[in-house]
Structure 1
Amino acid sequence: MDAATFLIQCLNALQYGLLLFLVASGLTLIFGIMGVINLAHGSFYMVGAYMAYALSPLLGGNFFVTLAVGLVLAVVLGYVLEWVFFSYLYDREHLQQVLMTYGLILVFEEVRSLLVGDDVHGVQAPEILAGSIPLGDVMTYPVYRLFISGVCLALAFGMYLVFTRTRLGMKIRAGSVNREMVQSLGIDIQFLYRIVFAAGVALAVLAGMIASPVSSVYPGMGNSVLIICFVVVVIGGIGSIRGALVAALLIGVVDTFGKVLWPEAAGVLVYVLMAAILLVRPAGLFKAG
């Protein structure tokens, strides 16, 4: 493997890992802070991809306007879902949570089939980001993939600031530790949870929207993402944003270089990594926070 190829694979690993982090961060927020096992989280990723496909023609093909409108709709969707469904699950057993959220997967798939059909679609990358940068004499790397990495890094830094430097982050962290105590201090924990859930949905939807130009938009695309995101959450530590970032980057490197160097075993290397880490740290790499 020459230097240019190695650099390209490093960039691919970074981009894939950061995209995984964007989805998994929303999952670990909902799972770790609210205590809800949300199997429908992958469906939000799918919803984001289909939003990018369906909204773009309606908004004149402007990709950035599509992202903005999609994010607003995602926040509304998350807020309504928490109010109508998830607010009743906090004191229920995990089996009931799994059954209800699995039912949501079926609902999302049927609604998607009715609205846009079952064909595979593509989304055009914005023209301003459609070029490539040279790497070596013959290789290039798409600018849009660098844009994806940049967006994910910016959001990761933004989440760090919110959780460690703001009163909202302090309330969310306190609510994840002792819900009753936070309520006794006069904080509306129900509204706080709705904000957390809406933010988690928005992160997954945004990931689906920005990923759509580099991957096909197809039925069931959220299912495989959900599995690998649970792996990220388990490795990183349930409820830990920092852990989700580190775990997603590790998985990006293992998966990308595994497919290049050992393609026959690439499908299991991520799970071998998870097993190895859990043998040493059963609770994951980091504690919640």
Structure 2
Amino acid sequence: MSTILIIEQMLNGLQSGVMLFLMAAGLTLIFGVMGLINLAHGSLYMVGAFAAAAVAGLTGSFVLALMAALVAAALAGAVIEILVIRRLYDSDHLDQVLATFALILIFSEGTRWVFGSFPLFLDIPDALSGPVTLPGGIEYPLYRLALIVAGLLVGVGLWVLIERTRLGIQIRAGENDREMIAALGVDISKLYTLVFALGAALAGLAGALVGAIQSVQVGMGEPVLILAFVVIVIGGIGSIKGAFIGALLVGLTDTLVGIFLPELLKLFMDAAPATSAGSAIASMSIYILMSLVLIWRPSGLFGARA
């Protein structure tokens, strides 16, 4: 097993983790501020991917496609917050789950009605196509490297927004005591709509960026949503830093275990059983990781202790 292969797979895991962070950051932001379980977050990921693919197909511009993904997902998030989500803040979590699950069905059928059932494809821009040579002679796809850099930059920007701006102060205050900031004159309805739109925009951006390395199709957001929930449980609900660390752990674990565990098991058993057993264990690896973290720290790595 070569060192180059290990480094390449670690970079793949890092890229996967950074994209998961964009999903999980919006999800944990919405839950932390609003106390809302939003199962429709994966549908906003899908909206961003389809908007990007449609605009790229019409204009041929990847930059315009990313902008379209951000705008479409943010608008979709703002609309459903105003029309549906706003009525669920005082409801119990079961009502929130049922309502947002209904939104999944609406988004899925609406997307199928507009774009059809066949997948769309978003081309990698020419400037980012092909491999780049890293130190040590490692060749790695330039676009995947750009995804890592873009995700890290968005993460830094989100941290600055939350920790260093007046809006961030309001968001953090709303997470701790929404009644108090409402009493201080902050329009809590507008703040909630803005936070929901921000979380939706992050999901849409992730969908657009990942759409260039996989097909864009109906239902693509639900598997990513499950991983995003695992991320925020590991990192701690409501913690952006926890979402970042949790996403990296999940991305690296999922990638490295899936690649290297079958090879390791081949040392002790025949190739076919080793591959089968390794694949089965690898598919459970992130949930095993989540269980171990919760046993050690039930509130997650950076969640508030009870």
TM-score range, shorter chain: over 0.9
- The percentage of counterpart residues that share the same residue type is 47
Partner of 1:281: 297
Checking the alignment, whether the CA contact within 8 Å between 2:18 and 2:151 is kept in structure 1 is yes
Q: 1:206: Cα distance to partner?
A: 0.4
Partner of 1:71 in structure 2? 70
Q: 1:126 matched to which residue of 2?
A: 125
Q: Does the 8 Å CA contact 1:148/1:210 hold for their aligned counterparts?
A: yes
CA distance change for structure 1 residues 159 and 139 in 2, over 3 Å: closer, same or farther? closer
What does 1:54-133 align with in structure 2 at a 5 Å threshold?
A: 54-58=54-58, 60-133=59-132
| Contact 1:4 1:136 (8 Å CA) reproduced | no
Amino acid at match of 1:87: R
CA distance in 2, matches of 1:144, 1:202: 21
* Contact map agreement 1:24 1:244 (CA 8 A) in 2: yes
Measured after TM superposition, the shift of residue 220 of structure 1 is 1.2
Q: Does residue 254 of the first structure (1) align with residue 270 of the second (2)?
A: no
Most deviating of 63-72 and 236-245 = 63-72
Task: Please tell me the root mean square deviation across aligned C-alpha atoms, in Å.
Answer: 1.4
Aligned residues: 287
Deviation at 1:79, TM superposition (A): 1.5
Alignment of 1:170-181 (within 5 A): 170-181=169-180
Deviation at 1:273, TM superposition (A): 0.2
Q: Check whether the contact 1:45–1:207 (CA below 8 A) recurs between aligned residues.
A: yes
Deviations 1:46-79 (A, max 9, x none): 1111112111122x21001111132122222221
- Aligned-residue offset at 1:83: 0.9
1:191 Cα deviation (Å)? Answer: 0.6
3-state SS of paired residue (2:212): helix
Structure 2 counterpart of 1:125, one-letter code: I
User: Aligned residue for 1:19?
Assistant: 19
Report what 1:240 is aligned to. Answer: 239
Matched, 1:213 2:212: yes
Per the normalisation by structure 1, the TM-score is 0.96
1:135 is displaced (CA, Å) by: 5.2
Between structure 1 and structure 2, the one with the greater Rg is 2
Q: Secondary structure at the match of 1:140?
A: strand
Q: Which residue of 2 aligns with 1:269?
A: 285
Mapped to 1, the partners of 2:105 and 2:68 lie a distance apart of 25
Moved more, 30-39 or 46-55: 46-55
1:168 corresponds to which residue? 167
Task: Give the letter aligned to residue 54 of structure 2.
Answer: A
Matched with 1:50 is 50
What is the Cα deviation at residue 219 of structure 1?
Answer: 2.1
CA distance in 2, matches of 1:128, 1:282: 45
Cα distance, 1:112 vs structure 2:
1.0
TM-score w.r.t. structure 2 length? 0.91
SS at match of 2:208: helix
> Which amino acid is the alignment partner of residue 171 of structure 2?
I
Q: Cα 1:279–1:81, aligned 2, differ >3 Å: closer, same or farther?
A: same
Q: C-alpha separation between the residues in 2 aligned to 1:91 and 1:39?
A: 17
Asked if the contact 1:43–1:223 (Cα under 8 Å) also holds between the matched residues in 2, the reply is: yes
Partner of 1:183: 182
Which residue number in structure 2 is paired with residue 222 of structure 1? 221
Greater shift in the superposed pair: 69-78 or 174-183: 69-78
Q: For residue 140 of structure 1, report the CA deviation from its aligned partner.
A: 2.4
Matches within 5 A, 1:125-144: 125-134=124-133, 140-144=139-143
Secondary structure of the equivalent of 1:214? coil
Residue by residue, what CA displacement relative to the aligned partner does 1:174-204 show, whole Å, maximum 9, x if unpaired?
0111111111101111111111000000000
Q: Distance in 1 between matches of 2:215 and 2:138?
A: 24
2:201 match: 202
Instruction: Give, as a single letter, the amino acid of the residue that structure 2 aligns with 1:31.
Output: F
Q: Which structure 2 residue ranges, 5 or more long, are not aligned?
A: 262-277
Contact 1:78 1:201 in 2 (8 A): yes
Q: C-alpha offsets along residues 63-99 of structure 1, whole Å, 9 cap, x if unaligned?
A: 0111113212222222111111111111011111000
Asked if 2 retains the 8 angstrom alpha-carbon contact of 1:133 and 1:141, the reply is yes
Amino acid at match of 2:95: Q
Deviates more, 1:221-230 or 1:137-146: 137-146
Deviation at 1:121, TM superposition (A): 2.5
Shift of 1:137: 8.9
